[in-house]
Structure 1
Amino acid sequence: MKRKLFTTILLSCFVAVCIAAAVFADINGKWSGTISTPDGNALDVSYNFKVNGDKLTGTATSQMGEIAIDNGKVMGDDFTFSVNVSGTDYPHKGKAYADSCAMDIDFGGSKSHFVLKRAK
């Protein structure tokens, strides 16, 4: 009897961990937020992420237009990519959570942290 109970509890924990991992790692879709630029301006942005295995593609959109995401990689809940604006690469690092993504962007040595929420 103890063995059946232990096996059931262990299996339940495994299923819960698998479900949680699937929820946390799913960044597919549209996310939006506001970046504080080094010069003090606020820039409204949205990202449309597409994950295929460990590869991340998609687009970034702001009032300046839409650009492609380059060199995207997904490693569990962490992801990285860059966008090229007028010949300058801006590397991004992110961490996915159930309802948000925490992001860091490097503006040529000046870093900015911001949060994206899933767009409706």
Structure 2
Amino acid sequence: MKRRFFTTALLVCCVVFAMAAVFADLNGKWSGVINTPDGQALDVSYDFKVDGEKLTGVAKSPMGDVAVENGKIKGDDFSFTVNVSGTDYPHKGKVYADSCGVDLDFGGASTHFTLKRAK
């Protein structure tokens, strides 16, 4: 009886993790608003491409398009940098089924923003 319960519980956990992996897919277009430390609101979008644990893509803002560099993804955690006018801006985030939470470092001043899957 205990063995049957343990086997069933293990199977349910495996299914839940497999479903989370399917729904938490970073590939594609995401958009949001970054509130900079100086109070400016920037509309941004990202077009991500995942290949194994490698993350690439393009970040777009009113200042232009920049490449996603040094991108890594492991499970639902990801990180990358974008280089704007010679300055690297590191991003760290977590992907969920319908959104991403991202922390962005502006050279010591950090901000958190949310990305939603673009339609």
Give me the TM-score of the superposition, normalised by structure 1.
Answer: 0.90
Q: How far apart are residue 19 of structure 1 and its match?
A: 1.4
Q: Which residue of 1 aligns with 2:19?
A: 19
Letter in 2 for 1:96: V
Q: How far apart are residue 10 of structure 1 and its match?
A: 3.9
* 2: CA distance, partners of 1:10 / 1:62: 45
Write the deviation string for residues 32-76 of structure 1: whole angstroms up to 9, x where unpaired. 000001110000000000000000000000111111000000011
Structure 2 unaligned segments of length 5 or more: list them.
none
Q: Which residue of 1 aligns with 2:81?
A: 82
Structure 1 counterpart SS, 2:26: coil
* 2: CA distance, partners of 1:89 / 1:17: 34
Identity of aligned residues (%): 66
Structure 2 counterpart SS, 1:105: strand
Q: Which residue of 2 aligns with 1:67?
A: 66
Structure 2 counterpart SS, 1:43: strand
Supply the RMSD in Å over aligned alpha carbons. 1.6
Structure 1 unaligned segments of length 5 or more: list them.
none
Residues paired across the two proteins, number = 118
Q: Which residue of 2 aligns with 1:107?
A: 106
* 2: CA distance, partners of 1:22 / 1:80: 19
Q: Which residue of 2 aligns with 1:36?
A: 35
Letter in 1 for 2:16: A
* 2: CA distance, partners of 1:9 / 1:80: 33
* 2: CA distance, partners of 1:31 / 1:78: 16
Letter in 1 for 2:82: V
Q: Which residue of 1 aligns with 2:50?
A: 51
Give me the TM-score of the superposition, normalised by structure 2.
Answer: 0.90
